[in-house]
Amino acid sequence: MSRGRLLAVAGLAAASVVALVLVATLGGRDGAPTPARALAISTTIAPSPVFFGDLVTARAEVIVDRRRIDPDRVTLNAEFAPYLLVGRPRESRTDSGRTTSIDLRYTLQCLVEACLPQRDGIALPKLRVQTKSSIFSATWPRIDVVSRVQPAALTTDPPPWRQQVALPAVSYRVAPGRLAAALTLAAAVLALGGFALIGREIARRRRLLVDRARFRSALTRALELARASAARGPDDRRRALALLARVLAFDPNGGRRLAPAAARLAWGRSEPSTTGLQTLVDEIERTVRVR
C-alpha cells in the first residue's frame, strides 16, 4: 500500500472516532441526553433520616422521550400510606432536546403509631406512572425514622421526663356564690319591673275604658237633648248645640273635628235651624260610635 493511501485511511479513521465521541458526548440536539427508553423514573426522599412527626419531601422525576410518548398523556398516581399529603403537590416541567422532564414534589407527614422508628425503615406504596398505552412503576426509598429520645434515657427507671398528673387548683374571677346571688337579685329586679309595667298598662287600659264609657254616656245624653231641642225654641237649640260642642271636644277619635261645626251652629248670627241641627246630629252619629 502506498504512503498516500495509508494517510487517507488514517485520516478517515480519525474522523470517525471524533464523530463517535461527539455523538456520545452530546447525545442529541441542544445538549439533551438521549433516553435509552421511552420513559425513565427516579424517586428520592429527603431528608433522611428524620424524626417522628417531621415533614418529608418525596420527589419523583419522570423523563419522557417526546418522539415516543406524549408528555401531556403522562399521569402520576402516588399513594403514601401511612403518611399523609400536606398541601398540594408542586409540579414543574422542563424540555431539553427531544426529552421532557416532569418533576413532582410531595410534602408528607405522619403522626400515627405506624410511623414510629422501625429497624428497616418505612416502606411507601409504589409510584405508578400511566401513559396512553402503558403503566410503569417505581419504588420509593424507605423512610428512616429515628427516635427523639437518646437510647441511654430509655434505660433509666423512672424515665427522665416530668408529667403533671394532678389537676391544677380551680380559680375564679368572681366567687360562684357571689355571682349566683347577684344574678338572682338581678332576675328578681327584672321580674318586679316587668310586673310593674304590666300593672301600669292594665291601669291605663282601665282608665281608657272608663273615659270612653263616660264620653259615650255624655255624648248620648247631649244627642238626646239636641234632638229634643229641635221641637223647642232657638235658645234651647243653642244650649243643646253648645253642650254637644263641649262633649265632642273631648272625643279622642273622629268626633273632635265636628266640635267647631256644632259651636258655629250654636253661636252663629242666625238662629240654628231645625234642619241644620238634625243634619249635624246625623253626621255625628255616623262618625262617632255611641253604642
> What single letter denotes the amino acid at residue 51?
F
The pLDDT assigned to 251 comes to: 74
Mean pLDDT in residue range 51-69:
94
Q: What is the mean pLDDT of the chain?
A: 81
> Can you give the pLDDT at residue 83?
96
Please report the beta strands in 66-171, taking only residues with DSSP state E, as ranges in sequence order: 75-77, 84-85, 90-96, 99-109, 127-130, 135-138, 145-146
**Angle, CA 222 vertex, CA 289 and CA 236 arms, to 5°:** 145
Tell me which amino acid residue 81 is: A
Predicted confidence (pLDDT) at residue 17 exceeds the cutoff of 80: no
| Predicted confidence (pLDDT) per residue in 64-89, tens digit | 999 999 999 999 999 999 999 999 99
pLDDT band for position 182 (cuts 50, 70, 90):
very high
Q: What percent of the chain has pLDDT over 70?
A: 80
Mean pLDDT of 210-222: 74
Query: What is this structure's pTM?
Result: 0.45
Answer whether residue 138 shows pLDDT above 90: yes
262 pLDDT more than 90:
no
Alpha-carbon span 221 to 244, nearest angstrom:
9
Nearest Cα to Cα of residue 256 among 265, 247, 266, 267 = 247
- Is the peptide bond between 158 and the residue preceding it cis, with omega within 30 degrees of 0? yes
DSSP string of 95-106, one letter each residue = EETTEEEEEEEE
